[in-house]
Amino acid sequence: MIIAGALFPLLASCSASVSSVIRTDGGARISVQAEVPAPLAAKLRKLGAVGSSVPTGPFFDLAALRASIAARPALTLIDIAQPSPDSIRVEVSARSLEELAASPDLKGSGLITVSRGADWTELRFRLERGGAKALAALFPGIDPYLMDALSPPALEEDPVTTDEYKSMLESVLGEKAMPAMEAATVNLTFSAPGAVIGSGGGSLLGSILTAKISLIQALVLEKPIEVWLRWKQ
């Protein structure tokens, strides 16, 4: 859950899936797969070919991602790969979710909250305008041309509505690329280390919470996104 938020700049570029297994020691193992939809990738490269920045190479910079993860004591890189120029796969281990939540980039942002009771632990992730900016520096490595073309309203000071953003995207990307954008999702799967006694923001099956978030919803954040799990300790 934590990395689903911490990778916002990565996830907000493409279709993505996140699988997070929370450990009994308070840490977590997180796997992320992300891909720029083919119609969008093709359109961006076509636009870049007539501009000053030509995104002919990979959209994701593995070296920048490695350096960012290595600079954070709370995170350990397990695996990183680039199956194609338009996709990336990352697996990391968070030593402590509380430690990560207290990091300078996230502390006070309201993005991550870890709460404890006598016999339970709760992890709450809330992504809203303003809080999204705190994440932008965590995981660099996205082609700036891609981010400039998408211009996520969630990272801007002047908010726009979802409909306004769709109109803007269509003017930049063209009508043919829009179905892929509108169909793209961020799919989240979180596994608790104990019996779940409360949850929100997704569908619960046993100790596993799943949530499907529209990519455009994540880019705009017209309404906050909140996902949480509470389990027996």
pLDDT tier at 155, thresholds 50, 70, 90: confident
pLDDT at residue 164, as a whole number: 93
| Structural domain of 72 | 2-232
125-134 residue pLDDT tens: 888 876 655 5
Round the CA-based radius of gyration of the chain to a whole number and report it: 18
Pairing of strands 208-214, 185-191: antiparallel
The structure's pTM equals 0.80
d(CA 77, CA 92): 5
Q: 3-state SS of 36-101?
A: CCHHHHHHHHHHHCCCCCCCCCCCECHHHHHHHHHCCCCEEEEEEECCCCCEEEEEEEECCHHHHH
Rounded Cα gap, residues 18 and 16, in angstroms = 7
- Identify which of 187, 158, 153 has the alpha carbon closest to the alpha carbon of residue 169: 153
What local confidence, expressed as pLDDT, does residue 117 receive? 93
Closest of 60, 215, 218, 66 to residue 144, by C-alpha: 60
For the chain, the domain total comes to 1
* Position 48 pLDDT exceeds 70: no
